[in-house]
Structure 1
Amino acid sequence: MYEHCFRLLPGAVRAKLVAPNTALSGFSGESVWPIGIIELELELVDDDNKELVRSTTVEFYFVRSYSKYNAHLGRTTLQKLAVIPSTVHGLVKFPTPLGIATIRSEKQDASVEAVEQAEKQPSEAEQPRSRMIITNPRHPEQKIKIGGGLSEETKFKLRNILASNTDFFAWNEADMTGVPREIAKHKLNANPSLTPVRQKKRGVAPERSEWLKAEVDKLVKENILREVRYQTWVANQVLVKKPDGSWRMCVDFTDINKACPKDNYPLPEIDWKVESLAGF
């Protein structure tokens, strides 16, 4: 917001990066290891009167982070320069030997630039429309959308790739089964000392009951479900209405969830792990 008011002194370019000895912690507890630390001489200059200047030495920490700003001044630097910011007015003030200096935000200029960029964007009527294509002749009702902004050559190549790799996708329920157990196998880690819970059967409206029967028969036919005569755990089905008015069949796993112990070491946020590996 205030890029025009900062400048580095000529001798600052000779500064060297120093290896950090600690990580930086964010508000949510994530840690970021800096690439390096550099000490630079920084000047803050008034917008209107260039004689109103304050300079100080600042330590900058280089980190891999996506931001629209090139640098952030911390509270230590702001306190050293006695800077008073005002987010409401979009400016900062700080004392200098010749008087009080003022630096205004570039937010207004940024908003004008954003409006100009928006005016240059083509309208919805001018934008190329996407196309729906069929990649699997066996399932013509299942179409794939291709963006209209792609070139004709790219569309042709993309369509050929999808058509030649139809076996990679699940086109119906039966395609989701048949994975060998030596490749993938899942098991619930239920506490064996707990007694299995058999939920009492809940009543369902007649029209919903017919839909449930048809859905279960379809899943049994596709080998997704199988009949079990002597159940240990029994849970009721729960119908959840979709936005299009149809139903989605779910299962009430409240009791089995209570019997499964929680993982003491859950998978951390992948963004945190990537940031912690910076510099290695």
Structure 2
Amino acid sequence: MNIVLYNYRTELRKNLKDTFIPLASFANDPSWSEGSIVLEVVLGKTPFKRTAHIEFLVVKANSQYNVILGRSAMMTFGAVTLPVHGMMKFSTPAGIATLYAERRRPIECVQINRTAVNPIFHEDGSISPNPEFLDQKIIIGNTIIKVTREKLYKILATNLDVFAWKDSDMTGVLRHIAEHKLGVNPNIQPVCQKKRGMAPDRSKFLRDEVKKLVKAGILREVKYQTWVANPVMVRKLDNSWRMCVDFIDINKACPKDNYPLPEID
């Protein structure tokens, strides 16, 4: 039996067919599916891939999986699974294809196996939670009692993986977890700002910053631009530069929120 698990996706409902097949959990508790649906399933990559239309039962449930392929799907693809090796083989017109399972550690195990790292304390009262990035400092207010501050230090030291310490740490978030889109009014003509000149020191910092973001996968080169916005360099308190972008034109083209936040914090 093939199953589609979903929590909040409602776009499936309009194509569902009524079904009266009950499902039983490991505790023999019966549950009813939302219906059945036929979806196109593609396994493998070109040229070692196969496509088939598989019928699924749609079940509303919280799960880390989106789809469960049952025996009928395995028979359709002629697939053979090897659970011990975390792989599956099936035949294609180009030959035998092999799929490998993702080697991800469970979140619970990662949390249990976390080891604390001793933060670096500076003379100005700030600390560097990650010894590998001493320039990234934080300050915990002196009004907080010593016991609470020590607990905060421990939390930071044992959860370094939560924070982005370099540019490449900010990428890799799956789109079904978080995705942002600009709600640009399609009736507005795209605006290309005229290029603004910059002083040599600003221009050099800008080039280095762009190269760093491109290397980290945050920015990518576009051959044919529609919207073009100029970068703006802002001086920080430590006399270094921060690269910003002048999005005034695209902001005008985006509809405003009906219930804006009083403060962004």
Report the TM-score when normalising by structure 1: 0.44
Report the TM-score when normalising by structure 2: 0.46
Q: Compare the two structures and name the one with the higher helix fraction.
A: 1
